[in-house]
Amino acid sequence: MGKEKVGWVALLIIVSSWCVSSSSHSSSSSFRGDLSRGKAPLTFGSASASSLVLNRVGQSVVLPLHGNVFPIGSYNATVYIGQPPKPYFLDPDTGSDLTWLQCKVRGARCTPTPHPLYPPSDELVDSSDPICRSLQSGDYKSDCVERCGYEVQYADGGSSRGFLVKDDVHFESNRGRVLSPRVALGCGYNQIPGRYLPYLDGVLGLGKGRSSLVSQLSRQELVANVLGHCLSTRGGGFLFFGDDLYDSSRISWTPMSRDPKHYSPGTAELLFARKPTGQKNMLLVFDSGSTYTYFSSEAYQALSSRVNEELMGKPFTRALDDRTLPLCWRALMPFENIRDVTEYFKPFALSFNSGNQFEVPPESYLIKSELGNVCMGVLNGTHEGLEDRNLIGDTSMQDKMVIYDNERQRLGWASKDCSQLPKSRAFAA
Ligand SMILES: *[C@@H]1O[C@H](CO)[C@@H](O)[C@H](O)[C@H]1NC(C)=O
Ligand SMILES: *[C@@H]1O[C@H](CO)[C@@H](O)[C@H](O)[C@H]1NC(C)=O
């Protein structure tokens, strides 16, 4: 399937500590996965130092995002790392914990990158470090202490292997302060591309685990352990860390399920055009590393047949020759933008026990293909081996502020025009 992209969703992460050749691998069957253009380079005068003195309350970091769901298939944030700081384009992934960069070490096997490979810092993370241990499964026995090796495998067959180092990462807070915390990140020396090969320097891991960047920033008391993103249907958007950029009372909040690995709002019922579809108890996971949304076979079937039924008698026919995505329709009239045809489609929604709904309007589940057809950006997750998990990917999170609040164990969302960066430090959702 030509351009079908699973994004960065990872099914398995294997972490091992090896000295020379990798010997004992341990694996935990986890499910991890998951990019903008930076503003003008900041001037990082005398870096570091900022950490411990700041009170994290009421401070945030905002990173502009660049990219789109189609045709690029990913978003990226520019992150400045090292001394002197160098820019890297990273794919923000709320489906995986570890931040890693394609790394400059002898014999490295990397995919093409937009910037020179990351020269690793010489401070290694040893295998007894809590961050290293957090990446390993319970029964793991380390046979090498000097270095913490990791291997992440993503659902589309891609993988990265490397070791952890500590280095300075530079941000500017919304209070105008330069923050340069020292964080653990992966030096990836063996990347195997999956079906989808993004032209990026690495992944920005924003999952729930201890190694996640936002969790590391919050332990250093720089920001609250909260992150969010706002992806625009016009492309771009922004990513933020911290909890003072939104008015909490205007957000629909749903408790996070106890799933230790994934950001899950629990189970929901699928509605189409505000009516039940018979699909209940769908286990959902929010994953910014996935370009599209994936429903398990039955729910996928239910949704695609409702969309097809809805199109009967309207100026569309199936476009079987369009291989962009599995389900495409030819519009019998020319159109410029997906917005010109969304009136023929209906929204779907995920309805939670709490009474909250996550509504997905047509522009957040349809794309316009290069052949000028309309294609459905919700795909069959069973086909990708996702089993009973339903992934809410970038496409369905567009034009919403989506918030992952690890402090209060809740997930929130609110409709929003994401094409504007938040200007002031308090903006309403
Ligand atoms: C990443 O962002 C840069 C701008 O900062 C942009 O030029 C580039 O096309 C983006 N790459 C991808 C793969 O989205
Ligand atoms: C989804 O994929 C599975 C596995 O490939 C397949 O058995 C099933 O028929 C597909 N469902 C639909 C509705 O296409």
Confidence of residue 328 (pLDDT cuts 50, 70, 90): very high
Average pLDDT score over residue span 137-158: 72
- The mean-pLDDT minimum among 13-17, 92-96, 398-402 falls in 13-17
Average pLDDT score over residue span 84-96: 96
236 and 260 share one domain:
no
Peptide bond into 193 cis (omega under 30): no
- Does 269 reside within a domain? yes
Query: What is the model's pLDDT at position 195?
Result: 79
Residue to probe by mutation, ligand 2, list 301, 380, 387, 389, most atoms within 8 Å of CB? 380
pLDDT over 90, % of the chain: 74
- The mean-pLDDT minimum among 112-116, 141-145, 205-209, 259-263 falls in 141-145
What is the secondary structure of 311-366 as a DSSP string?
Answer: TTTSSEEE-TT--SSSSEEEESS--SSGGGTGGGS--EEEEETTS-EEEE-GGGTE
Average pLDDT score over residue span 266-280: 97
Number of domains into which the chain is organized: 2
- The mean-pLDDT minimum among 46-55, 262-271, 324-333 falls in 46-55
85 and 158 share one domain:
yes
- Does 261 reside within a domain? yes
404 and 333 share one domain:
yes
Q: Which residue's CA lies nearest to atom 4 of ligand 2?
A: 383
Query: What is the model's pLDDT at position 135?
Result: 85
C-alpha–C-alpha distance, residues 221 and 240, integer Å: 16
Three-state DSSP at 130 gives helix
Q: What pTM was estimated for this model as a whole?
A: 0.88
| pLDDT tens sequence across 329-367 | 999 998 999 999 999 999 999 999 989 999 999 999 999
- Last residue of a domain, which of 241, 258, 275? 241
Query: Residues 324, 2: contact at Cβ < 8 Å?
Result: yes
- Does 420 reside within a domain? no
C-alpha–C-alpha distance, residues 206 and 215, integer Å: 8
| Count of other CB atoms within 10 angstroms of residue 115 | 15
187 and 330 share one domain:
no
CATH (domain of 139): 2.40.70.10
224 and 277 share one domain:
no
Residue 42 has pLDDT above 70, yes or no: no
- Last residue of a domain, which of 210, 241, 272? 241
For residue 375, give every residue at least 6 positions away whose Cβ sits within 8 Å of its Cβ, in sequence order, or none.
322, 324, 325, 327, 328, 329, 366, 367, 368, 369
Three-state DSSP at 395 gives helix
Query: What is the model's pLDDT at position 426?
Result: 44
- Residues with CB under 6 Å of ligand 2 are 297, 300-301, 380, 382-383
Query: What is the model's pLDDT at position 18?
Result: 41
- The mean-pLDDT minimum among 71-85, 191-205, 323-337 falls in 191-205
Question: Given the CA of residue 68, which atom of ligand 1 is nearest to it?
Answer: 14
- Does 5 reside within a domain? no
Query: What is the model's pLDDT at position 58?
Result: 75
Confidence of residue 254 (pLDDT cuts 50, 70, 90): very high
Mean pLDDT, all residues of the chain: 85
- Does 4 reside within a domain? no
| pLDDT tens sequence across 75-86 | 999 999 999 999
**Active site (catalytic) residues:** 93, 287
CA nearest 282: which of 198, 348, 366, 367?
A: 348
Question: Given the CA of residue 38, which atom of ligand 1 is nearest to it?
Answer: 5
143 and 18 share one domain:
yes
- Last residue of a domain, which of 191, 213, 241? 241
- Does 40 reside within a domain? yes
CA nearest 255: which of 350, 353, 391, 392?
A: 353
Closest listed ligand to the CA of 376: 2
Its domain, for residue 230, covers 10-241
- Does 352 reside within a domain? yes
- Does 386 reside within a domain? yes
